[in-house]
Amino acid sequence: MWEHPQLRKLLQIGNEVFPNPAPSPSSGNPLLRSLESSETKTLAEWESGYVVKSQSNDTFSATPKNGYGLSLTLMPLQSMGAETFRNEADLTPTTYAWFNVDAPVTAFTYTPPAGKKRKVNITLPSDFAEYIVSSDGVAFPHDGMGGIQVVLNSLTQDSLRVGGVISASIADPNIDDFAQINLPVLSFTTSGTTYSFDTSSWGRDHKMVFGAYSKGYGYNIPPNSVKSIPEGKKAYGGASIYEELTSVDMVWYSENDVDTDDEPDCTQGYTYNSTTKTCEVDSGDNGDGDDEDDEGLDTDTLLKYGLYGFAALAALSMLKN
């Protein structure tokens, strides 16, 4: 059978132009999906451009080898159950980087499907949960350890947004003035009420001394510039939270159906108004309608009665004499 004399060479050229496909997924080369972008590759493919390290929560961290770009969180595809992904089009991560000391993060957003509501438990760094407040100034309830529980209801157009960068003022005693610090973004609407991380209040309650590394925030500290932390502390911009505070954990519950006439679950500090069909701020009225009885006797009244009593005792003493 005749064969073209250059056929073998052409086939070799073809192999050079079209390289062999990446190794197939296996137990030693699992498929990993980025929680940030949903891109899926084998471990070997990720390692071609990232430094991949295993983490304690069955995920992997991926840091760009060239030092540019976002660090990613990778999860083995086979371990993604219903609690992690509702379906391929609706990514609900169990861990999310709401801040990055190297670059701005891409915010994660979630809106429940029409006719559904869904509950999610969010665990923040403990120093942040108490600063989640509504547009009315009402604090969102938390468990004291950074945990909050949010119900997202499609009937009230609820949604969740995690991640971003926002600047706040913070006192710096070293310069006897205020400085700027970059902080993460968290906001959500539940039962029609909007809450967000109050960066202004957080900034008022904290002080930024140089190297507040023990509290997880402060100025950018170059390596070997502070003896107690020779490795340095990287901050985004001039100052921000440090890497140990850049992740939040989320536990997603199953979706539940809601009827159009269902009342939303108003959070603490709010009461449902059946007329306006909205959650409204509690009035704070004790409801007994008699303020005077609760106030008791004022100082002037007590003094007056005391004088009367003293005069009566004096008169009685005179009569005995």
More confident residue, 54 or 7: 54
| Under 8 Å between Cβ of 72 and 213 | no
pLDDT grade, residue 31 (50/70/90)?
confident
pLDDT at 139 over 70: yes
| Under 8 Å between Cβ of 53 and 74 | no
How does pLDDT run across 162-193, given as a tens digit for each residue? Answer: 999 999 999 998 888 899 999 999 999 999 99
Torsion of CA 164, 256, 142, 219, to 10 degrees: -10
Q: Map out the domains of the chain as residue ranges.
A: 14-80, 85-281
Neighbours of 85 (CB within 10 A): 20
How does pLDDT run across 64-107, given as a tens digit for each residue? Answer: 988 777 888 887 764 333 333 334 444 688 889 999 999 888 89
Q: What is the mean pLDDT of the chain?
A: 79
How does pLDDT run across 200-209, given as a tens digit for each residue? Answer: 999 999 998 7
Report the amino acid identity of residue 4: H
Neighbours of 234 (CB within 10 A): 14
pLDDT grade, residue 291 (50/70/90)?
very low
Residue count of the chain = 321
How does pLDDT run across 233-280, given as a tens digit for each residue? Answer: 999 999 999 999 999 999 999 889 988 888 888 999 999 998 888 999
Q: What is the pLDDT of residue 75?
A: 79
The residues near 168 (Cβ < 8 Å, ≥ 6 apart) are: 180, 181, 183, 199, 200, 202, 203
C-alpha 194/C-alpha 176 separation (Å) is 35
- Residue 133 has, within 13 A of its CA and on its CB side, a CA count of 12
